[in-house]
Amino acid sequence: MDQHIIRLSPLGKELTVNHNTPMMDVLHGFGIEFPCGGKGTCGKCKIKILAGHLEMTAPHREKILKLGLDDSWRLACLSRATEDVTIQVAQFEALILADDTKFDFIPQNGYGIAVDVGTTTLVAQLVDLTTASVLAVETMLNPQVKYGADLISRIQKDLEGHGAQMTDLIQNAIGGMLEKLMAQQPVNVKRVVLVGNTAMQRTFVGLSLNPLSCYPFQVADLGAKTFPVNDLGWKIDVEEPVCFYPSIGSFVGSDILAGIAATGIHRHEKMTALIDLGTNGEIVLGNRHGMVCASTAAGPAFEGANISMGMRAVTGAISSITTDQTPWSLQVIGNEKARGICGSGLIDAMAIFREQELIGSFGDITTGEESISLDEVVVLTQKDINEFQLAKAALAAGLTILASELSITTAEIDEIVIAGAFGNYIHIGNMVATGMVEAQEEKIHKMGNTALIGAKMFLFSGPGLADEICTKIRHVNLEANRDFQDIYVDKMLFP
Ligand code: FES
């Protein structure tokens, strides 16, 4: 064959290239960096094969082994297109949200499928329960995005009578992904675990989102939901009923429950916070003696909502801003012309605007203009800056109130784990500089898709692990705290 198709998952990009084209040439145009110049020594250009094949020479294999990777991985700088292939690029991890983090497990026979049902992205992994290794991965955009990108729009559509269509869409999409997994690896699946926020659980199950639409936002039936696979109409066999894991609160779902499992907060002595910058900006704080959790209104701004040129972390989004050039240099996902800005870029912009005194501590643009231009296309308006302040204040106030619920101060938190879609792009220093997270930089680290890691752990643990977490955690309504308004207003200031 003279030409081959290269698919970049889940960017949805498909390229046709000539036989033997170096993958370095293919990926260069997407902003992928090759720090060692393609010598195969830094490992930074690693790519994972999701379908198809890329040939590997013996020295290439040696380098892959040395990096501790399995043979589904390649170094792009040493690979050429020799047949159709679908790849996941490690430098785009924040977009892909698939994960191959190692975790402790007790081996058992059979296979399981873990599914992270995100508001934006769906990820399913087929796992060998004897080794915990991932045999196949499927990712896709949540087809419910046609009813709106964020949860508020979905809730609205549910109230307008589109609930049944949203249920069909999500059930069929996940069923289709599972069928594709089984087509790649025809094995007998023992169990399927789904995790997601409370709205995703309810819409998957076919329950109304009405309780999430109005005060007091109380959802009565937060528990696990199970279905024999036949009831879902999926054309696969699964030994046990499919289980969507329980939510902790109205806006703290089983994705956070899974995140707690992944981080192990519930078993550690050290006081740890988990901050998920997904849709709701959920926070968990505690240790093995007890945990509290809450959702904040921080999420939407970091997903691009409410920001005039905001967008998700996809091709064309400014994902990172640095000051290695004057006044700054922009990194755009996919190395394309910038069309907008995503959450991580927004945080960088705010930190740099403050550093360069373009905005004051109240967030006011000091030049008196209505906006600040990042380049000839993308601007941030005064309103955008104020939206960022509302979001970062919600997060900082949330952590402060949760700490007070445990009778500690935020200074006594030992570790802060950042999870979420764009976590990998975030400059932690800038989170601290904007006052979004008030802690020393060295206490904060990123952990990627903790929901998916936890869902895989649930494949091994059965309900026991989730039950253990649920008995140790308490959901807190932040706004019911009498100091909330004062703390919230205070946190709107830039440090
Ligand atoms: S660029 Fe360094 S290993 Fe490929």
Ligand 1 site-directed mutation target among 28, 32, 33, 39, most atoms within 8 Å of CB: 39
Any atom of ligand 1 within 6 Å of the Cβ of 457: no
Any atom of ligand 1 within 6 Å of the Cβ of 45: yes
Any atom of ligand 1 within 6 Å of the Cβ of 73: no
Ligand 1 atom closest to Cα of 45?
4
**pLDDT score, position 96:** 45
Ligand 1 centroid vs 364 CA: distance in angstroms? 43
**42-68 as b/e: b if 16+ CB within 10 A:** bbebbbbbbebebebeeebeebbeeee
Which residue's CA lies nearest to atom 3 of ligand 1? 40
CA atoms within 13 A of residue 215's CA, in its CB half-sphere: 3
Ligand 1 atom closest to Cα of 38?
1
**pLDDT score, position 129:** 95
Any atom of ligand 1 within 6 Å of the Cβ of 33: no
**pLDDT score, position 213:** 86
- Residue 480's nearest CA partner among 231, 260, 215 is 215
**Cα distances (angstroms) measured from residue 66 to each of 91, 92, 93, 132, 235:** 19, 22, 21, 21, 40
31: alpha, beta or left, given left = phi > 0 and alpha = psi -120 to 50?
left
**pLDDT score, position 2:** 84
- Residue 369's nearest CA partner among 355, 383, 351, 352 is 383
**pLDDT score, position 95:** 43
* pLDDT (tens place) for every residue of the chain, 495 residues total: 689 999 987 556 788 999 998 998 888 766 566 767 777 877 878 898 988 999 999 999 999 988 888 888 999 999 999 999 999 886 665 444 456 677 888 999 999 999 999 988 888 999 999 999 888 888 777 888 778 777 888 899 999 999 999 999 999 999 999 998 998 888 999 999 999 999 999 999 999 999 888 887 888 889 999 999 999 999 999 999 999 999 999 889 999 999 999 999 999 999 999 999 876 789 999 999 999 999 987 766 777 778 899 887 777 889 899 998 899 999 887 667 898 998 889 999 999 999 999 999 999 999 999 999 999 999 999 999 999 999 999 999 999 999 999 999 999 999 999 987 666 678 899 999 999 999 999 999 988 789 999 999 999 998 899 999 999 999 999 888 899 999 999 999 999
Residues across the chain: 495
The angle subtended at Cα 472 by Cα 470 and Cα 477, nearest 5°, is 80
Ligand 1 site-directed mutation target among 27, 28, 41, 65, most atoms within 8 Å of CB: 41
**CB neighbours of residue 145 within 10 Å:** 16
Ligand 1 centroid vs 92 CA: distance in angstroms? 15
Any atom of ligand 1 within 6 Å of the Cβ of 46: no
**pLDDT score, position 93:** 52
Give the C-alpha separation, 111 to 133, whole Å.
10
Ligand 1 centroid vs 39 CA: distance in angstroms? 6
Ligand 1 centroid vs 342 CA: distance in angstroms? 27
Any atom of ligand 1 within 6 Å of the Cβ of 75: yes
Ligand 1 site-directed mutation target among 45, 67, 87, most atoms within 8 Å of CB: 45
**pLDDT score, position 109:** 93
Any atom of ligand 1 within 6 Å of the Cβ of 90: no
- Residue 81's nearest CA partner among 23, 30, 38, 32 is 23
The pTM (predicted TM-score) of the whole model is 0.79
Any atom of ligand 1 within 6 Å of the Cβ of 38: yes
Ligand 1 site-directed mutation target among 23, 61, 67, 77, most atoms within 8 Å of CB: 77
Ligand 1 centroid vs 72 CA: distance in angstroms? 17
**pLDDT score, position 68:** 80
